[in-house]
């Protein structure tokens, strides 16, 4: 009897082992196939080209670098700009002006520069200058120190933008009476709710491409900037912007404007849209402004 039991046990064990081996062999092709599929899986291409990646690396290197020279202060007054700084080292150094359409990482030769005579300097310049047929406001520029080179000028300081700007109006700060605010106020039948909501701050979307034109149209008002004249739809300004702003002012509500630019195809003046639309724009409700030219 014991012999029979032992034989039965061995038979059962052999059967289980055979079953496990067969199961393993049947799964092997699937495992191997899965491994190959994983190996063949394509890595998605980066949305950035090599030039973009290199530019990011250069920008990070610039931001993380420590320079021995520096611009310490840029003050923009009503009709002048004062740039203060210092440099160290041997060679010819100059103050470089970088307009907003130039990337400091890509500048090989600063287009506008002034030779520095003293290692510590405070240079006063005219705020407005004639450039390319327009009156350019140096408020928009950033300033850096360069060491003169043959093929490329060497950047020896971080760029510095305006610290202090002359204000044409000095309005008193609005004291906030609550933490509540409202985003995107518009003129509608619910504007009286400003009081019921108890808000003390708000934002308003100012989409300039909905009311701005390069050439005059009926009902437009002219605005001159930089020696050039642009035209604004007065009816739009009064009904879409002035109404909610005046209602907010009555209630002592602080309002911040969010400036928006639509793609050229949606602008009331397509010619203006072509100037303002960023060259890298592909899709979306709004576009970044074109600061490249």
* β partners of residue 255: 202
Residue 3 predicted with pLDDT over 50: no
Least confident range of 25-39, 152-166, 196-210: 25-39
Task: Answer yes or no: are the C-beta atoms of 199 and 181 closer than 8 Å.
Answer: yes
- Examine the pLDDT at 160 and tell me if it is beyond 90: yes
* 3-class SS string, the chain: CHHHHHHHHHHHHHHHHHHHHHHHHHHHHHHHHHHHHHHHCCCCCCCCCHHHHHHHHHHHHHHHCCCCCEEEEEEECCCEEEEEEECCCCCCEEEEEECCCCCCCCCCCCCEEEECCCCEEEEEEECEEEECCEEEEHHHCEEEEEECCCCCCEECCCCECCCEECCCCCCCCCCCCCCCEECCCCCCCCCCHHHHHCCCEEEEEEEHHHCEECCCCCCEEEEEECCEEEEEEHHHHHHHHHHHHHHHHHCCCEEEEEEECCCHHHCCCHHHHHHHECCCCCCCCCCCECCCC
pLDDT digits (tens, 9 = 90+) for 243-265: 999 999 999 999 999 999 999 99
pLDDT category of residue 15 using cuts at 50, 70 and 90? low
Taking the C-alpha atoms of 147, 75, 85 and 70 in order, what is their torsion angle to the nearest 10 degrees?
Answer: -70
Q: At residue 48, does pLDDT exceed 90?
A: no
Higher pLDDT, 260 or 17: 260
pLDDT of residue 20: 54
Question: Per-residue pLDDT tens for 181-205?
Answer: 999 999 999 888 999 999 999 999 9
Range name among 47-56, 120-129, 147-156, 272-281 with the lowest pLDDT average: 47-56
**What is the per-residue pLDDT for 198?**
92
Res 184: pLDDT = 94
Contact 97, 104 (CB under 8 A): no
Cα distance between residue 9 and residue 13, in whole Å = 6
Give the mean pLDDT of the chain: 87
Whether residue 34 is predicted with pLDDT greater than 60 in this model: the reply is no
Instruction: Let me know: does 219 contact 254? Beta carbons within 8 Å.
Output: no
CATH number of 58-165: 2.60.40
Q: What is the pLDDT of residue 241?
A: 97
CB contact set of 241 (below 8 Å; sequence gap of 6+) = 204, 206
Q: What is the pLDDT of residue 208?
A: 97
| pLDDT tens track for 104-144 | 999 988 889 999 999 999 999 999 999 988 899 999 999 99
Q: Which pLDDT belongs to residue 32? A: 47
Where does the pLDDT of residue 266 fall: very low under 50, low under 70, confident under 90, or very high at 90 and above?
very high
Per-residue model confidence (pLDDT) at position 13: 53
Give the per-residue pLDDT at 218: 97
Mean of pLDDT values over 200-228: 96
Q: What is the pLDDT of residue 44?
A: 74
pLDDT, tens digit, 9 for 90 and up, residues 50-83: 888 898 999 999 999 999 999 999 999 999 999 9
CA distance 160 to 140: 11
Domain coordinates in residue numbering, the chain: 58-165, 181-276
Using alpha carbons only, what angle is made at residue 158 by residues 152 and 159, rounded to the nearest 5 degrees? 85
pLDDT category at 17 given cuts 50, 70, 90 is low
Q: What span, in angstroms and rounded, lies between the C-alpha atoms of 83 and 157?
A: 13
């Amino acid at each position: 009897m014991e012999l029979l039991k032992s034989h039965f046990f061995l038979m059962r064990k052999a059967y289980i082992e055979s079953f496990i081996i067969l199961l393993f062999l049947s799964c092997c092709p699937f495992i191997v196939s899965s491994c190959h599929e994983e190996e063949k899986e394509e890595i998605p291409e980066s949305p950035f080209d090599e030039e973009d990646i290199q530019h990011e690396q250069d920008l990070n290197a610039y931001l993380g670098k420590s320079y021995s020279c520096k611009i310490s202060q840029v003050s923009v007054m009503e009709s002048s700009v004062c740039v203060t700084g210092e440099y160290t080292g041997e060679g010819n150094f100059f103050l470089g002006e970088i307009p907003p359409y130039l990337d400091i990482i890509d500048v090989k030769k600063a287009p506008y520069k002034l030779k520095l005579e003293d290692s510590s300097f405070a240079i006063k310049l005219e705020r407005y200058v004639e450039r390319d047929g327009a009156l350019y406001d140096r408020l928009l520029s950033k300033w850096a120190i360069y060491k003169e080179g043959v093929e490329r000028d060497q950047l020896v300081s971080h760029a510095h933008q305006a610290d202090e700007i002359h204000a044409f109006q000095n309005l008193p700060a609005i004291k906030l009476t609550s933490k509540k605010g409202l985003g995107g106020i518009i003129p509608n039948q619910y504007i009286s709710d400003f009081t019921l909501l108890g808000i003390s701050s708000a934002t308003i979307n100012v989409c300039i491409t909905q009311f701005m034109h390069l050439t005059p149209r009926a009902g437009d008002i002219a605005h001159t900037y930089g020696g050039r004249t642009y035209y604004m739809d007065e009816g739009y300004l009064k009904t879409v912007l002035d109404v909610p702003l005046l209602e907010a002012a009555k209630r002592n509500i602080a309002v911040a404007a969010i400036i928006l630019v639509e793609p050229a195809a949606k602008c009331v003046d397509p010619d203006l849209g072509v100037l303002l639309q960023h060259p890298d724009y592909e899709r979306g409700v709004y576009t970044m402004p074109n600061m490249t030219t």
